[in-house]
Structure 1
Amino acid sequence: MPIIPIKTPVVAVMLLASFLAAAQDAPSPQQALQSFGIGAEQIVQLQRGEIVGYDVSETSQKELAIGVAMLLPVPLAQIADYIKKGHMNAIESDIVASATLGPNPSSDSFKKFAYTDKQLDEAKAFLAAEAGDEFNLSNAELASLKSLQAELEDADDKTLLKTANQKYREFLLQRLSAYKKNGLNGIAPYARDGGSADPAAELRTDAVNSKAWARYFPELQQAWLNYPAALPGNASEQFIWLNRRVEDRPTPILNHRVIAVGEAGGIVISRQFYVGHSYNSSQVVAGGLPYQDGTLVFYSIRSSTDQVAGIGSSLKHSIGREQMKKEMVKRLQRLNKDLKRKPATVAAE
């Protein structure tokens, strides 16, 4: 069975640690713990500095979902400062490159996404892509690649690499523009052999079923569902692109993140609305609350992948959740270690 490649930016975890109290009916730490089914025994584990898991409902055979919580022994102000200084990527070892996208992106905005000479076979496979799960491409994108094949028939390796990189950047810009203009309705399905995968439908279902946070932030949930509808006044957004190593392959990802910030708590919702291969889409909801002498952090992921559907789905889900939880725990542990170091040490890196 292949490894389930669930990759989600941990930056969402801590940016949250700044807003929950801004909501009129924000939960107390005790209410939040109860909402996520975290009982007395797990609270003791949290107080010992352990990371505990909690259940997140899955909405289809393709979805993997799980949550983790941790009590970080640092104040909100330190977490916010850490994020503002841009240290978050240091704890995500699988990121090859990333950048925040400005208001007027171009294909050059993705220039750091590039197949290298060592990835020539990957570039050639992309240029010759067909409907299937090797690449997440729409029918229109596949047709665009097919139109290039005749002129590339005698092309040298340098030309093939250049063409593959330029074409993929064009696709990324087109997908970003379509999403910013039409939200979930602008996400083109991925062509599959005999069918399609629909990340828009997956992300819409995830937004509807994220009831724990939506109870406290109904306006934010509606804006998230109906984007590009206006966000609440206390929320801001970011568009980020990533190049990650997933299953030992370069993977372009487009991510939309909404951050609502206040003085005593926070929430971040984040969706990967385009992923180059291996999985279809992903949504993160993370929150933080002052708790005792530190910050209580909740971090959940819903991720959709064709790899866990079909025969043996139950076993695949069990293995996939465990893999996803291990990755989430590792990242929180690295974050915790980093935050507890002296600020001067972190700033010097």
Structure 2
Amino acid sequence: MLFNKLSIPVMLLTGSLCYLPVFAQEVPTPQQALQNFGIGAEQITQLEHGKIVGYEVSETSQEELAIGMAMILPVALPKIIDYIKRGNLTATESDLIASAPLANNADINSFKKFAFNDKQLDEAKAFLEAEPGDKFNLSKPEIDSLKSLQATLEDADDKTLLKAANQKYREILLQRLLAYRKSGLSGIAPYSRENGKTADPAMELRTDATISKAWAHYFPELQQAWLNYPTPLPPNSTEQFLWLNRMVEDRPTAILNHRVMVAGETGGIFISRQFYVGHSYNSSHVVAGGLPYKDGTLVFYSTCSSTDQVAGMGSGLKHSIGREQIKKEMIKRLQRLNKDMKRKASAVGQ
């Protein structure tokens, strides 16, 4: 399927960076960070004049789209951290239908607010009838379990079908969460595709975490724990699990997200992986952060997302279109952050 509007996550520090007191690891200087990202003197000048600049992020396969963006905000890092802590960034995400954190003892009730609604009945029915392919990201055992469920719903009315679809999806989300928490990347089941093929989000996420050399240089313990989860994270780390229901390509989709945050006065880093995505793309890996820069803050973030939609014939053109769409959304979010921070600073100064 050739996308007409590719919807790929470009989260910007959407978990609180401010839970943590200090860094245990060495923190790069802003100059080191700019050098690591290949941002030269001309772009630094643009940054210092309030422009948003891009930097190259390696793409490791035909299915991957990757891009990095940076800007300097004219406010101190603690104010940005406080802004994020209050959940202001998440509140601006127009494509978010619902979300909720997942506690250590999460069970089926943790997903009770995830649901297809009455207007999404066709989507719920399509889910119940899912086959191998890219319409839904499901493993072969999950598809087989749906076929077994279908046999019990042969004469069911729409209300019953909707209820059954919601309950089954919640069960799948819970099982995927438990498998990931138990075995990390190794616990992520592949998505079943046509002709016996599969998509492997575990391999994609492992590659993305391995190739992120810049942040790994300064946070090697965090990178190793991230790769080998559920190996314990460094003691100065805070993690969060949550589920989301987003509109992606005009369709609701379930997402399971694992985030790790480290922050202090000298800087902050945020890493996130979407280890299950209901459709349209396979996985997403985000690295974001902030460093004090002169009288403001250097903010940077990158996203690596994998989607079958940009592979195959015309891959180069598809990648170009996909990157441009991601870039526009990233710029929009950075501009929104900048505007909000200036507005808050102005209100305080009055």
TM-score norm. by structure 2 comes to 0.95
Paired residue type of 2:215: W
What residue is the counterpart of 2:12 in the other structure? Answer: 10
8 Å Cα contact 2:71/2:298 also seen in 1: yes
Q: Please list the CA deviations of residues 252-308 of structure 1 after superposition, one character each: whole Å capped at 9, or x if unmatched.
A: 100000111222201111000000000000000012100011110110000000001
Which amino acid letter does the alignment assign opposite residue 237 of structure 1? E
Of 270, 282, 285, the residue aligned with 1:283 is: 285
Letter in 2 for 1:109: S
Aligned-pair CA distance for 1:20: 11
Give the equivalent residue in structure 1 for 2:236.
234
The AA in structure 2 aligned to 1:268 is: F
Q: Match for 1:117: what amino acid?
A: D
1:11 & 1:333 partners in 2: Cα distance?
14
Aligned to 1:75: 76
Match of residue 267 from structure 1: 269
Give the 3-state SS of the residue equivalent to 1:297 in structure 2. Answer: strand
Out of 291, 294, 299, the position equivalent to 1:292 is 294
Aligned to 1:140: 141
Q: Is the 8 A contact 2:19 2:238 kept in 1?
A: no
Aligned match of 1:105: 106
Following the alignment from structure 2 to structure 1, what is the Cα–Cα distance between the partners of residues 70 and 20?
17
Contact 1:11 1:89 in 2 (8 A): no
Mapped to 2, the partners of 1:344 and 1:98 lie a distance apart of 32
Gaps of 5+ in 2: none
The sequence identity of aligned pairs, in percent, is 71
CA distance in 1, matches of 2:55, 2:155: 55
For 2:26, the aligned partner's letter is D
Task: Kindly report which structure 2 residues correspond to 1:31-180, keeping only aligned pairs within 5 A, or say none.
Answer: 31-180=32-181
Per-residue deviation, 1:11: 3.2
Change (3 A) 1:52 1:17: farther
What's the offset of the Cα at 1:177?
0.6
Cα offset, 1:318, TM superposition: 0.8
SS in 1 for 2:230: coil
Whole-Å separation in 2 of the counterparts to 1:345 and 1:123: 46
The 1:250–1:150 alpha-carbon spacing in structure 2 relative to 1, beyond 3 Å, is same
Structure 1 residues 343 and 51: alpha-carbon distance in aligned structure 2, compared to 1, 3 A threshold: closer
What is the letter of the counterpart of residue 116 of structure 1?
Answer: N
State whether residues 17 and 84 of structure 2, in contact with CA within 8 Å, keep that contact through their aligned partners in structure 1: no
> Tell me, what secondary structure is at the counterpart of 2:154?
coil
Structure 2 residue aligned with 1:311: 313
Q: Helix, strand or coil: the match of 1:71? A: strand
In 2, Cα distance between the equivalents of 1:334 and 1:56? 23
Q: Alignment partner of 1:99: what SS?
A: strand
CA contact (8 A) 1:66 1:325 kept: yes
Q: Distance in 1 between matches of 2:24 and 2:30?
A: 14
Q: Secondary structure of the residue that 1:203 maps to in structure 2? A: helix
In the other structure, the counterpart of 1:192 is 193
2:220 — aligned with what? 218
Please give the per-residue CA displacement for 1:156-207, whole angstroms capped at 9, x wherever unaligned. Answer: 0000000000100110010001001100000000000121000000000011
Amino acid paired to 2:253: T
Q: Which runs of 4+ in 1 moved over 4 A?
A: 14-21, 343-346
The answer to whether the 8 Å contact 2:20/2:237 transfers is no
2:209 is equivalent to residue 207 of structure 1 = yes
Aligned counterpart, 1:249: 251
Which one-letter code corresponds to 2:113 in the other structure? Answer: K
| TM-aligned CA deviation for residue 66 of structure 1 | 0.5
The match for 1:338 among 330, 340, 346 is: 340
CA-CA distance at 1:91 after TM superposition: 2.1
The worse-fitting range, judged by mean Cα deviation, of 203-212 and 99-108 is 99-108
d(CA) in 1 for partners of 2:175, 2:142? 10
User: Structure 2 vs 1, CA of residues 143 and 70 (structure 1 numbering), >3 Å: closer, same or farther?
Assistant: same
Q: Bigger CA drift: 143-152 or 128-137? A: 143-152
Task: Report the 3-state secondary structure (helix = DSSP H, G, I; strand = E; otherwise coil) of the residue aligned with 1:152.
Answer: coil
Conserved? CA contact 1:138–1:191, under 8 Å: yes
- Give the Cα separation in 2 of the matches to 1:341 and 1:98: 27
- The answer to whether the 8 Å contact 2:13/2:289 transfers is no
Task: Give distance in 1, aligned partners of 2:346 and 2:152.
Answer: 55
Letter in 2 for 1:340: K
Distance 1:24 1:150, change over 3 A: closer
Q: In 1, distance between residues paired with 2:206 and 2:60?
A: 11
SS at match of 2:198: strand
Does the Cα contact within 8 Å between 1:17 and 1:288 map onto a contact in 2? no
Distance between the aligned counterparts of 2:330 and 2:11, measured in 1?
Answer: 10
Aligned residue-pair number: 345
